[in-house]
Amino acid sequence: MIKSLTMRQALSLIKDGELHLIDVREMNEYAGGHIPGAINLPLSQLAARFEDLSKDKTYYIICQSGIRSERACSFLENQGYDVINIQDGIKAWQGSLI
């Protein structure tokens, strides 16, 4: 079962920079605005690049609305990674995007 948080629940962790946030939107979406501190690992590249991630960390996965991030979490969880889906995505973010 995929662990998840709402944006409201994740907000303080994100603002404090206390988590490893991965944005799985495509590069052009990420470039158009993303949460400060988020790294971009597009869902379309995840299968080829997931081994760059450490299994010693917990990753918080985000996309626009929570659908792609849920798919990414399912894939990564099956590979043995500790992941948490931010289920309502960037559309629920109330801070500035960079």
Query: pLDDT tens digits, residue range 59-77?
Result: 999 999 999 999 999 999 9
CATH number of 60's domain: 3.40.250.10
Residue 97: inside a domain:
no
Number of separate domains in the chain: 1
Write the CB contacts of 49 (distance below 8 Å, at least 6 apart in sequence): 41
Residue 12: inside a domain:
yes
Residue 52: inside a domain:
yes
Residue 9: inside a domain:
yes
Which residues are catalytic, by number? 63
Which domain range does residue 69 map to?
3-92
Query: pLDDT tens digits, residue range 9-30?
Result: 988 888 777 789 999 999 999 9
Supply the DSSP string of 44-92, one letter for each residue. HHHHHHGGGS-TTSEEEEE-SSSHHHHHHHHHHHHTT-EEEEETT-GGG
Count of all residues that appear for the chain in the document: 98
